[in-house]
């Protein structure tokens, strides 16, 4: 069974820093990988989706990379802002059954002004 | 506006009293699913549906039922809720086909079973 791990569980950085969030998965047979943002009391908002054949995706200050063979993805946030404070989750969609999604437990990010 | 709508947002009930959480999407998505989110465990898939009248179990289906009579609606039913079903529940939907289909989430339902 797929296991998705996100380390660290929490991260606190001063405003303006560049930072990297990590996501690892045990089964490399994935269909795609998606990064989400979750604000307290709210649902998940999709940030970036990387297809299994891609290496990275960029949106504004966000860049997500995927190394499928090693079971790793990173989310890079440039020039962090207090508004980036949230919990970030990664999720993989499986290639052998794309009805199946597996989520990490998330990294709670706090960007201090 | 494209969205997934869940109701209610908050629900407090007692053990054994049947309840239904509704979910509706306006994006004509084939795929819909339910998740529960518990501290330290992340989101776990309860049930999913690939289309009308097609549903299947996720990783934690015990104690839950679903139905998909219409493409836009996918209600979650707890026939006899128990305290271990206290959790934050999310409905999600996506299209299917080319590997680029994002998963869209509802705002969540916080359920407390006393």
- Which pLDDT score, from 0 to 100, does residue B95 have? 86
- Which pLDDT score, from 0 to 100, does residue A41 have? 79
State the Cα–Cα distance between residues B67 and A59, nearest whole angstrom: 37
Q: Which residues from A are below 8 Å from B96, CB to CB?
A: 98
Query: A52 to chain B: nearest residue by CA?
Result: B99
CB contact under 8 A, A34 and B102: yes
State the Cα–Cα distance between residues A78 and A97, nearest whole angstrom: 34
DSSP string across B26-79: SS--SEEEEEEEETTTEEEEEEEEEETTEEEE-S--TT-EE--SSTTB--EEES
Q: Is the predicted pLDDT of residue B98 greater than 80, yes or no? A: no
- Which pLDDT score, from 0 to 100, does residue B102 have? 86
CB contact under 8 A, A44 and B105: yes
Mean of pLDDT values over A25-48? 93
CB contact under 8 A, A32 and B105: no
- Which pLDDT score, from 0 to 100, does residue B41 have? 82
The rounded percent of chain B whose pLDDT value lies above 70 is 97
- Which pLDDT score, from 0 to 100, does residue B57 have? 95
Please tell me what DSSP assigns to residue A14.
Answer: E
| Nearest 10 degrees: Cα torsion B100, A65, A29, B39 | -90
The angle formed by the CA atoms of residues B30, B66 and B73, to the nearest 5 degrees, is 45
The answer to whether the beta carbons of residues A68 and A28 sit under 8 Å apart is yes
CB contact under 8 A, B107 and A42: yes
The answer for A106, left when phi > 0, alpha when psi is -120 to 50, beta otherwise, is left
Q: Which residues from B are below 8 Å from A1, CB to CB?
A: 59
Partner residue opposite A103 with nearest CB, options B31, B43, B107 = B43
State the Cα–Cα distance between residues B29 and B103, nearest whole angstrom: 10
Query: A39 to chain B: nearest residue by CA?
Result: B107
The rounded percent of chain B whose pLDDT value lies above 90 is 87
Q: B23-49: per-residue pLDDT in tens?
A: 999 999 999 999 999 988 889 999 999
Phi, psi of A110, deg, nearest 5: -120, 120
pLDDT band at A54 (very low <50, low <70, confident <90, very high): very high
What 3-state class would DSSP assign to A105?
Answer: coil
What 3-state class would DSSP assign to B114?
Answer: coil
Q: Is B41 on the interface with A (CB under 8 A)?
A: yes
Mean of pLDDT values over B79-83? 96
């Amino acid at each position: 069974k797929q296991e998705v791990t996100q380390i660290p569980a929490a991260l606190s950085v001063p405003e303006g820093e560049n930072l990297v969030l990590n996501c690892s998965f045990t089964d490399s047979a994935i269909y795609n990988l998606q990064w989400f943002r979750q604000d307290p009391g709210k649902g998940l908002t999709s940030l970036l989706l990387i297809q299994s054949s891609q290496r990275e995706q960029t949106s504004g200050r966000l860049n997500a990379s995927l190394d499928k063979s090693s079971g790793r993805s990173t989310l890079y946030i440039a020039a962090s802002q207090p508004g980036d404070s949230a919990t970030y989750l990664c999720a993989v969609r499986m290639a052998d059954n794309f009805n199946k999604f597996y989520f990490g437990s998330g990294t709670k990010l706090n960007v201090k002004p | 506006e494209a969205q997934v709508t869940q109701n209610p947002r908050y629900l407090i009930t007692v053990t054994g009293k049947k309840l239904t959480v509704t979910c509706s999407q306006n994006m004509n998505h084939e795929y819909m699913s339910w998740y529960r989110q518990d501290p330290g465990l992340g989101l776990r898939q309860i049930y999913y549906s690939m289309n009308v009248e097609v549903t299947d179990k996720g990783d934690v289906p015990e104690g839950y039922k679903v139905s998909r009579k219409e493409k836009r609606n996918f209600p979650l039913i707890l026939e006899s809720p128990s305290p271990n079903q206290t959790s934050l529940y999310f409905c999600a939907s996506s299209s299917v086909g080319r590997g680029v289909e994002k998963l869209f989430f509802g705002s969540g339902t916080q359920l407390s079973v006393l």
